[in-house]
Structure 1
């Protein structure tokens, strides 16, 4: 009898363990995120969240060093789908993670990234901006960042180099067996630039996600948006909705890139619409989102006028400096679906 009870207990323990793994698929989580990224029309009831510079702020205050392992870890822990990491090159050719052209703002060093070898860059400690708190982390490579994030969260690569460098990033992802772990992108504003993007897309290979960045100061025709999404087999289109009229606190609508026609083009091409609500350094808050930035959502208690405004216009990916707040708001609206393993 005792032996039978032992087997029963063991059975239920195994079932409970399997159920737990199904709810928290840590090593496979990035693959599930990639599935939602590349099948937009199946997941339009779920809004994905991207942590700008890996997620360094909370309520407007820097809490972690930007583009840091600590930021990646926090983003993964709170359920963010992607971390945005900025890529530059050292003097000796290494792809390194750094937003600015210089080291002054975000590290203990000074000078240009491109004028230092990797070994020298590794002596530069990352700091938490504002308090200038020095962390235990140093400047690291894109490869190290990819290995740190692998399986847990996707990386949205913001390429600060020539467009052709994206092929090198793709080759790295392939070597690390992470073709489903990265999203590459490129700004496109006319047919010539689209042709360059098509050439780079072919060199990258179809197994790696690649998307256009489209800004409404140059791209105003929905037909061009449609053609770009189709030509690149893009799983998403990152939209820049400029706030150019200083007499208006926010734009009255989403402009041509967030029109009903643009939304229809996204559905036709199985593509996500992506908006950025983070602030740009030395620019008015919300500049890239028609004035509807994270600060407006949090400081005035108007998330519906920011994140909700864009969701109503078909946006299913939000890149933000406030990922925790955005996820909490989306959860409250029923706009997040749990990730689960399926047979």
Structure 2
């Protein structure tokens, strides 16, 4: 992995060079492909949004749950994306919203609960209302299950300074290279600000930006930003906006010129097909999202479309459907059998082996 300055809140980073202690693990195999995009242009990596959990449009697991994490590992996904907040007493936890109402059987603000109180709040399967046996997980618990099996993208819902504790935790667990964080770049001024912030956070990180085509359309800026941070991937947003028609080209960030930039920089192009609440389908992918791929039954017009336009990473709510279709259609290169896959958890997460804080 190419070393650069440390990253910051809302940025996408793959941290540090893998240690010899993880040699031969599934995570090491994933890291090798993540860090060497040009050698793996024929393989599309799958990122499970909020750890995945959807199957055929129906939620099987609570979002951001360890049960969903275990399922993503068993499917062979390369990465899970999760959201990080703090409890009232400062514990780093995995939770998207600032309120507990939507995703747990508790009510009120997350910051109103100490960790011992959050232990009494159980995750809910959205859409069904089913209350699981899994309490709100800590980041430490989450990482302990993911370690050496899958990469973890931390979407920091806190302040920049909180990244220091997240990185310190991953480092203490000897898995900082398996953790990822992300944020947006859109101008030269923003690039300078991010570099300054990264310098304050510390050394040893590799930065990967997010770029959206409402602000970034120039391949020269994409290349300059990539070079500034020695990235391994760039997350590309093709806004659907109010358009009724889906994109025919992928937009300016999926042009031949940007793909050439990606090849010169040896980095992945990442696309988001997952849904956004209360927004039209494919809101981040020009109308070509999970709803079209799975509910409407046109996976080639989504997964195939983006793969043919250079995407080698797809973040989706439907990792099972994505992996199965990509593999069946020649967009996945099998990994070596370095370890037995983790069995899929059909219902609740098994917390018996997790550390209790």
- Could you say which TM-score interval applies, normalised by the shorter chain? 0.7 to 0.9
Question: TM-score of the superposition, structure 1-length normalised?
Answer: 0.88
CA contact (8 A) 2:185 2:209 kept: yes
The equivalent of 2:182 in structure 1 is 185
Between the two proteins, the alignment pairs up a number of residues equal to 317
Q: Distance in 2 between matches of 1:104 and 1:304?
A: 37
The 3 A distance-change label for structure 1 pair 303 and 103 is same
SS of match in other structure, 1:319: strand
Q: Deviations over 1:158-190 (max 9, x none)?
A: 111223433332222111110221112112222
Identify the match of residue 266 of structure 2 among 267, 270, 279.
Answer: 270
SS of match in other structure, 2:325: helix
Q: Distance in 1 between matches of 2:269 and 2:201?
A: 22
Q: Distance in 1 between matches of 2:296 and 2:125?
A: 26
Give the structure with higher Rg (CA).
1
2:238 matched to 1:241? yes
The equivalent of 2:136 in structure 1 is 139
2:227 matched to 1:230? yes
Q: CA deviation at 1:26?
A: 11
2:302 matched to 1:331? no
Identify the match of residue 163 of structure 2 among 163, 166, 176.
Answer: 166
Q: Distance in 1 between matches of 2:33 and 2:68?
A: 23
The answer for unaligned runs of 5 or more in structure 1 is: 1-24
Identify the match of residue 284 of structure 1 among 280, 284, 298.
Answer: 280
Q: CA deviation at 1:247?
A: 3.5
The equivalent of 1:4 in structure 2 is none
CA contact (8 A) 1:50 1:84 kept: yes
CA contact (8 A) 1:183 1:210 kept: no
Higher-RCO chain (CA-CA 8 Å, sequence separation at least 6): 2
4+ residue stretches of structure 1 with deviation over 6 A?
Answer: none
The equivalent of 1:91 in structure 2 is 88
Q: Distance in 1 between matches of 2:297 and 2:204?
A: 41
Moved more, 312-321 or 224-233: 224-233
2:60 matched to 1:53? no
2:85 matched to 1:80? no
Q: CA deviation at 1:215?
A: 1.0
SS of match in other structure, 2:210: strand
Q: Deviations over 1:222-247 (max 9, x none)?
A: 11111111111111111111002433
The equivalent of 2:154 in structure 1 is 157
* Aligned CA-pair RMSD: 1.9
Question: TM-score of the superposition, structure 2-length normalised?
Answer: 0.84
CA contact (8 A) 1:182 1:209 kept: no
Q: CA deviation at 1:91?
A: 2.1
The answer for unaligned runs of 5 or more in structure 2 is: 1-21, 339-357
SS of match in other structure, 1:31: helix
SS of match in other structure, 2:195: helix
The equivalent of 2:9 in structure 1 is none
